[in-house]
Each structure stands twice: as C-alpha cells, then as structure tokens.
Amino acid sequence: MTQSYLHAEVQGQGEDLVLLHGWGLNCAVWQKVSAALETRYRVHAIDLPGFGDSAWKAGYQDIAQVAKRLEQYLTDHCHGPAVVLGWSLGGLLATLLAIHYPDKLTRLHTVASSPCFVRKDNWPGIQESVLEDFKNQLNTDYKSTIKRFLAVQAMGSPSARDDVKLLRQQLQQKPHPHPQALEAGLNWLQHTDLRKQIEQLKVPLQRSYGRLDSLVPVQVSKQLTKLPEDQDVKIFENSAHAPFLNQFKDFIDMLS
C-alpha cells in the first residue's frame, strides 16, 4: 500500500514520546500536555489517519494497516525506540503497535483505554448497541454524532461541561474528520479484541483509568490478570474519560 501523509506536531528535547488521540478528535487535545513535557521528552502529537491534518486511505479500514503506518512513522521520525501513549481509541492502536512491533517501543502507556471496548461475558465495556447507534447516526449527521460522543466521554466528570467545551474547541482547530475515518474508528472499537494478544506483550506497560469513566469502566483495570509482571496501573480518582483534563498535574507527574 502506498504510504500516505501522517501529520505530527513535534516539540521538545529528550526521549521520544508519541501521543495518540481518541476517536473523532485530533492531536490538538495534547497541546497543553506537550508543552508541559517538552523539557523531558521530544513529543510527537500525531493526527491519526483521516483526523486533523492527516490523510485517509481506503486501506486504513484495516486497523492493522494503521498500526503499520504508525510503525513507519516511528522508524522515520524517532531517534530510536519510543514511549508510546494512547488515549481511548489511541490506546487500542498503541497496544496493537506494541504487540506487533515491540522493538519500536520502550514503554506503552494506555489512558482510559481497553484491549476490548465492547461488553462481553465477564468483561466490562460499552454496550455494542451504543456503538451501532453512533454508526447509524454518522450517516445522517456526523457533527452531531461527534458532539454526542464527546458528551458521553465527559459523563461522570466533575467538570463535564467545561471538558466538552474544551474538546470541541480543540476539534475545531483542524479540518473536519474524514467520514470514512470516523466509521472505521467505530468499527475498530466495536470489533477489535486484543485480550489474548496483550497477555504476550513484550513491552513495559502502564495503564491508567478514570474512576468516573462511563466509556471504559474502571473495573477493566482488574480484569487483565495474566499480563506480564512489568506493568503498572494508576487510577485517577476524580476523572472520567479524560484524566489529562481533570487531573492535569497528576497526569504530567505520572509521565515525569
């Protein structure tokens, strides 16, 4: 497959840190985080394919192709193996990247993410019907779908209204997402299940969750019992789905 343009905003000096955003958004969500970490890391805030300033290609409906494109970015633009942090859907992609290309990462951080977003037997997650509703609404009014998704993300947050307002402002700084990228992202959330594969992870892992999260229930933190020993779990007690908004200082301290 021909390589397509993947936009990243790079700042700072030090170890390479790659940041991957969530569904419907773009790398603008990381502006404050990047500025706070630029003396510790060389921060790469990436627009996922079809979001922000990154191009979309038809083959990217396959999540493995997106992971391969991210691996190529790391090869081309990082000075060596990098720390990769993914939030929500970005965490799913970061996990797939670490599973398939472990030599490209020094550490994996997932934030408010899950190897399986959909509720299963003995597994907490989103009702599959909710994701189906989002996909159906995409076909008629994708802007309203994104607004609704942002509202669901903020549910439970002590500053929900402010969170949604900020995320919408950041979203508007860049071009609208490609409709096929939005649909593909929902399909990845609905159909990707990495629970078995993550047990074989060869990269140090830190998982963090918001205690008040309605999209990725904090109970997920206790479900992955067969992970390698080289991992850590952090719970942000006063956060929902976006702890880097609700508990910014604690989030930066975790990475410093």
Binding site members for substrate:
23, 88-89, 149-153, 241
Q: Is the distance from CB of 107 to CB of 205 less than 8 angstroms? A: yes
Distance CA 157, CA 214 (A): 9
Check: CB of residue 73 under 8 Å from CB of residue 206: no
DSSP states of 176-187: PPPHHHHHHHHH
SS (H, E, C) 47-79: CCCCCCCCCCCHHHHCHHHHHHHHHHHHHHHCC
Contact 102/202 with Cβ under 8 angstroms?
A: yes
- Find the catalytic residue in 16, 47, 163, 213: 213
Q: What are the b/e assignments for 166-195, b being 16+ CB within 10 Å?
A: bbeebbeebeebbebbbbbbbebbbebebe
Active site annotation includes 232: no
Q: Which two tokens stand for residue 177?
A: 């997402």
From the list 21, 44, 109, 241, the catalytic residue is 241
State the Cα–Cα distance between residues 57 and 155, nearest whole angstrom: 33
Site of tokens 């720390």 = 83
Whether residue 213 lies in the annotated active site: yes
Q: Is 109 a catalytic residue?
A: no
Catalytic residue among 21, 34, 47, 88: 88
Catalytic residues: 88, 213, 241
